[in-house]
Chains A and B, each alone.
Chain A
């Protein structure tokens, strides 16, 4: 697939920045499990947050593929840093797809500049793959909603300035898919609290928080779309956000492949570099093939989703499914190529293997992706 000149230029600029400014920070971000606000500022000052936003909001007006190219390049060296862009997009998409012009003008410029961070809060302790179990309530009181409940596993939840919360406004609606509404909650509102930040296996610099809403009062004007549209907005959001996770996965795989190939050329056993051993060559070739296949699928998915061909949910699911599995396999094999050195934190592949795992879990597990693909395949006549 041929990228446009603009896409190539932006990709290459992000790659240089990632290699020279972010890569040297990756190991420390992982080891200390601290939010890299310096990376956020770097992405902001180079307009990288601006990629998926319209020019009237201070964005670059670029397409989904361009955003994915940036996420891929950053994730190649640091999955936590790549995720910063993906989470910002995840939180912004509900505003882009369901917000009024007034809401967009109010909230999107701060997100495009990277001065404001946003999070997406759907998951709860008992409601992940099945959002019909969501218990967080938003009760109408005059011109406000009063929100009560707890959200779990919310990326950037503890650093975001606002959170798109999916809460039940119509708990008695017959269809489970009509019970939720999407409401933007500024995190400085009274009653909003970060109650826990998780200790994770990977993406350790990315804060994953538990958020408590204790009578949080929000104007009705903060609701995105109509009452009861929350589930539809969330699904629409995933159609454009899952490719970002696929891009993160492709980036992680590419990073691991590059480390493994370079190591194989240096490491000598049996009197020659292990890269000359066919068993190593075979692994490297399979890693390259899996990574490239996932990448090309991702790029094709972005084009298909952007074209609005009506099959977006399937494309988004397929590209995340394939890329996430590829990243897990490629990073595991990268550790194998490095042998004992792959298992210690002197080399980045053990980190990449830990980081890869999350791409099979969040924004819908791989099992949910398969469900979506099968449903699309078997629907209709």
Chain B
């Protein structure tokens, strides 16, 4: 099986250095980056599938030139190679452009499955994985909690999170799957994995390599951020004092009043 995983470098939440540039776009130079959390879950699922069924995992990233640094972290987990779409014309790209570009790059790979995180922790658009499926005309199996391919039959079955529990959905491969944390925690790369990742290939593609008309000229994006404001500070919390029994009762009442328990 060949599985393509969308992996996006996002500001490292642990660094707390995320900030916006003057145009209200994320200042990608301001913070160290990590692989987007949900994408790591997708990657872990892909690695396990390849371990079970054979094949290779390919990571696909659209990012500035230094995005390879974060891609190496994903390769260290066990992906075989990377595809890095990088072009100055893509700085600040909107969702439709991102989807067209990633779909064009993925379309060059004969994959069985394409996995992506449900959303990213920076843009949080939550539409890219689904958009790529639509653009490629492939079935989308969303909010996956478990993935079970049957390569011989050319089909994949997904347990999908629903409001009431799970839906079991099935589609022919190739298919696109949006991934959730219910798939299981990503592995820590081993030191040998880290060393091996340094020599794994990352193919760089510019916009022109992928075809014409994928991005609007001069960054005329369909959407733009007109204003950005930090969330209002939360009001001070309420402190519960008194004996443990009284305090527990008070907290339980508080939660019960709001139908939280």
Contacts and interface: CB of A to CB of B under 8 A. Distances in A.
Interface of A: 6, 9-10, 13-14, 16-17, 20-21, 45-48, 50-51, 60
A16 B35 CA distance: 15
B188 A47 contact: no
Given A13-B76, A60-B191, A60-B195, 5 more contacts: A10-B195, A13-B194, A17-B188, A46-B188, A47-B193
10 contacts: A9-B194, A9-B198, A10-B191, A10-B195, A13-B189, A13-B191, A14-B191, A47-B190, A47-B191, A50-B191
Interface of B: 76, 188-195, 198
Closest 9 CB pairs of A and B: A47-B191, A47-B192, A47-B190, A46-B190, A9-B194, A13-B194, A10-B191, A17-B188, A60-B191
Nearest to A13: B194
A6 B188 contact: no
Contacts of B191: 10, 13-14, 46-48, 50-51, 60
A16 B76 CA distance: 14
Contacts of A9: 194, 198
B190 A6 contact: no
A46 B190 CA distance: 4
A21 B194 CA distance: 18
B79 to A, nearest CB: 16
A50 B191 CA distance: 9
A18 to B, nearest CB: 11
B189 A6 contact: no
A275 B190 CA distance: 38
Contacts of B189: 13, 46
Contacts of B76: 13
Q: Which of B191, B193, B194 has the most CB of A within 10 A?
A: B191
A50 B192 contact: yes
Nearest to B192: A47
A9 B195 CA distance: 9
A50 B76 CA distance: 16
Contacts of B193: 47
A48 B193 CA distance: 11
A9 B188 CA distance: 13
B190 to A, nearest CB: 5
Contacts of A16: 188
Contacts of B198: 6, 9
Nearest to B189: A13
Contacts of B188: 13, 16-17, 20-21, 46
A21 B190 CA distance: 14
Contacts of A50: 191-192
B194 to A, nearest CB: 5
A10 B194 CA distance: 8
Contact of B195 (A6, A17, A20, A21): A6
A266 B14 CA distance: 19
A275 B251 CA distance: 33
B194 A45 contact: no
A185 to B, nearest CB: 30
A14 B190 CA distance: 9
B199 to A, nearest CB: 12
B190 A45 contact: yes
Contacts of A47: 190-193
Contacts of A10: 191, 194-195
Contacts of B192: 47, 50, 60
B37 to A, nearest CB: 14
Nearest to B72: A9
A51 B188 CA distance: 17
Interface hub of B76, B189, B193 (most chain A Cβ within 10 A): B189
Contacts of A17: 188
Contacts of A21: 188
A210 to B, nearest CB: 34
Nearest to A51: B191
Nearest to A9: B194
A253 B21 CA distance: 39
Nearest to A70: B191
A46 B76 CA distance: 12
A247 B239 CA distance: 44
Nearest to A17: B188
A16 B189 CA distance: 10
A58 to B, nearest CB: 9
A14 B189 CA distance: 10
A16 B191 CA distance: 12
